[in-house]
Amino acid sequence: MDDEVVRAWRAAGREPGAVVLDGFHALKHALRFGGDVRRVVTVDRGALLELAGELAPDVVPAVAGLAVEVPEAVVRGLVPRVHPTGVVALAVRPSAEANREVLGRRPREAPVVVLENPRNLGNVGAVIRLAAGFGATGVVTTGDMDPWHPNVLRGSAGLHFATAVERMALPELPDGPLFVLDPEGADIRDVPFPDDALLAFGTERHGVSAELKGRADQLVAVPMQPGVSSFNLATSVAMGLFHWRSGKR
């Protein structure tokens, strides 16, 4: 039985677009937001169903239909570490074409967050979690980082499935007015963000590139105490999305 589980897991892991969901919260969000979850293994099926019943009753039927209990040693052979909730799952991410369709749809009812050449996997995960929480249309990254990397999925708690997440080159960005966060910009409090905006953020060390600034319809800045070099990327995105949300009241 355990060998069959391992073989099925490895076969599912070779499918195009397969991603690992580490822990119950990632699994919960993938199921809640329509993710294509293929395999779920756990060290304690009863405890998993009890946790689901306590925290997310809406996903209990799906969890019950998918979860297979195996010894912890088997789980350790499938993933680098066993999550404290004792569960790991495999899902298939939405296709790039599907994500691009969502991101490019007009009119948009919520902004797209653009991260130019991000470097920290955990920060990108935190931004995706924020985007999902604020109801953004999606998150676009440029550069060579994979926004569906397992560590990014861990940081987002599986909320990739609640918003469109895709990597694009700058010339491929969706249409819409481009607002670039930059210290040289106008005070963000004086600049309303329309629903179809692209909100672009650079790296904490280097900021945004000259190319991205040159494409901007508007540079905007978040007030900051003199001598402080930058905010954390996720904090900056949170302030930008909160500013957009506040203007909708």
Give the contacts of 81 (CB within 8 A, at least 6 positions apart).
none
Residues 120 and 39 in one domain: no
- For position 207, what pLDDT does the model report? 82
Question: Hey, what are 191's tokens?
Answer: 């600049």
Residues 197 and 242 in one domain: yes
Q: Which residues span the domain enclosing 103? A: 96-246
Residues 156 and 40 in one domain: no
Residues 163 and 82 in one domain: no
Cβ–Cβ under 8 Å, residues 138 and 163: yes
Number of structural domains, the chain?
A: 2
Residues 6 and 125 in one domain: no
Residues 85 and 129 in one domain: no
What is the phi/psi pair of residue 207, to 5°?
A: 70, -155
- For position 1, what pLDDT does the model report? 67
Give the contacts of 51 (CB within 8 A, at least 6 positions apart).
24, 85
Q: How far apart are CA 113 and CA 181, in angstroms?
A: 11
Residues 34 and 121 in one domain: no
CATH number, domain at 34?
3.30.1330.30
- For position 2, what pLDDT does the model report? 81
Residues 231 and 132 in one domain: yes
Of the candidates 92, 119, 144, which is a domain's last residue?
A: 92
Of the candidates 92, 126, 161, which is a domain's last residue?
A: 92
Residues 44 and 130 in one domain: no
Asked if the bond preceding 174 is cis, omega within 30° of 0, the reply is no
Residues 122 and 176 in one domain: yes
Residues 40 and 110 in one domain: no
CATH number, domain at 100?
3.40.1280.10
Burial of 215 (0-12, 13-18, 19+ CB in 10 A): middle
Q: How far apart are CA 122 and CA 120, in angstroms?
A: 6
Query: For the chain (length 249 residues), average pLDDT per consecutive 10?
Result: 88 94 96 97 97 98 97 92 95 96 94 96 96 98 95 95 97 96 93 97 85 95 82 93 88
Of the candidates 24, 57, 92, which is a domain's last residue?
A: 92
Residues 211 and 160 in one domain: yes
Burial of 97 (0-12, 13-18, 19+ CB in 10 A): exposed
